[in-house]
Homo-oligomer: A and B are copies of this chain.
Amino acid sequence: MARDNLSIHLAERPKGDIIPGTTFSQKRTPIPSPADLKDGEILVETLYLSLDPAMRTYLNPGGSYMAPVPIGGIMRGMTVCRVLASKSKRAAAGDFVSGNTGWTEHAVLGEKDFEPTSRFPGLRDPQDMLSVLGPTGVTAWYGMTQIGDPKPGELVVVSGAAGATGSVAGQIAKIRGATVVGIAGSDDKCRWLVEDLGFDVALNYKAADFKNKFKEATKKRIDVYFDNVGGQILDMCLARAKEHARFVECGVISQYNTRDQAGLRNIANVVSLRIHMQGFIIFDQLKHFPQARADLSKWIAEGKLKKNETIIQGGLGKAEQGLVDLYKGINTGKLLVEIKNPNATAPKL
């Protein structure tokens, strides 16, 4: 029976939340033929798709740090893939590679558009390339070591702490000897942060007594705030900052789906407390990837860093709902869609 290729395209720019069945549309086209590969190209089947908070910003007409996905264009996304056929010296059929294929089951990638996973000896599963050794893990490494730079005994607060980046960022702060307070969206996540990952304190921001608990947990005042959420919690951290605090501005997940940005009221503290606030995007920092991955692999091998993934089963068709659920905080650790199980047999083409 002839198989075809499923890909998912942007149909309509959402004004607020993504609307399943409306924002994206599905297309079925023939799987590219190995016979059509040009020199240097590879044909891959995608195994895992990374779902990331920044994706919502790709849908806006003005884009963000990346150009907007055009209407009708394939949705942008990073995957781990298995090579089905290769005209490249960098990968052979059967190898795992990662690349920006977008939301598709199969893709043809040019010589420079993929990264062989064999380069990373610390890798345990192919999907590590999308999580702890992928952009989110490297983001945590960069933000915490290059901007936050906590010293032993300093107080570090991480928001979005149970997410792919936050969970790694908090653990790096612990490795640095800091006291770490995580903020997450459920009691289960908070338990996981403290019991499994070793955070000193974890607070559920949805709890009624959150503000008091936060005040108590930051009595010493905040030296480093690793911000994944923006909005109200950023404002609270500005109010509880210590002099010369570092604010690692990594993401604003609380704000991506709304046009009514919460107003920050404590920004004057940036002056009086001499706060250093630095926004960053990991794709500016490609030169740091090798060092970051070396450190992260080492910490995993030493048992100092635990990885976690929430994997949505059921194939690429589940990606749209998965992205909606990401903003609801469905995931603990990295959120992935399993497009195809890597243990399943590769298709014959």
Contact = CB atoms under 8 A, between A and B. Distances in A.
Interface of A: 57, 64-65, 230, 234, 243, 249-252, 255, 261-281, 284
15 contacts: A230-B267, A230-B271, A251-B271, A252-B268, A261-B267, A261-B268, A262-B263, A263-B264, A264-B264, A269-B279, A271-B281, A274-B279, A274-B284, A275-B278, A276-B278
Contact of A280 (B264, B265, B274): B274
Contact of A281 (B265, B267, B272, B278): B272
Contact of A271 (B267, B271, B272, B279): B279
B243 A270 contact: no
B261 A266 contact: yes
Closest 6 A/B residue pairs (Cβ)? A263-B263, A270-B279, A277-B277, A264-B264, A261-B265, A252-B268
A227 to B, nearest CB: 8
Contact of A276 (B252, B261, B279): B279
Contacts of A281: 271-272, 274
A189 to B, nearest CB: 22
Number of copies of this kind of chain in the complex: 2
Contacts of A271: 230, 249-252, 279-281
Contacts of A251: 271
Nearest to A256: B268
A303 B266 CA distance: 40
Contacts of A277: 270, 275-279
B272 A64 contact: yes
A267 B267 CA distance: 10
Contacts of A265: 261-263
A262 B230 CA distance: 17
Nearest to A250: B271
Nearest to A228: B271
Contacts of A65: 243, 272-274
Contacts of A284: 274
Nearest to A267: B264
A59 B264 CA distance: 24
Nearest to A260: B265
A64 B277 CA distance: 19
A26 B317 CA distance: 77
Contact of A279 (B57, B234, B255, B273): B273
Nearest to A273: B279
Contacts of A276: 277-279
A3 B68 CA distance: 75
Contacts of A280: 271, 274
A250 B271 CA distance: 6
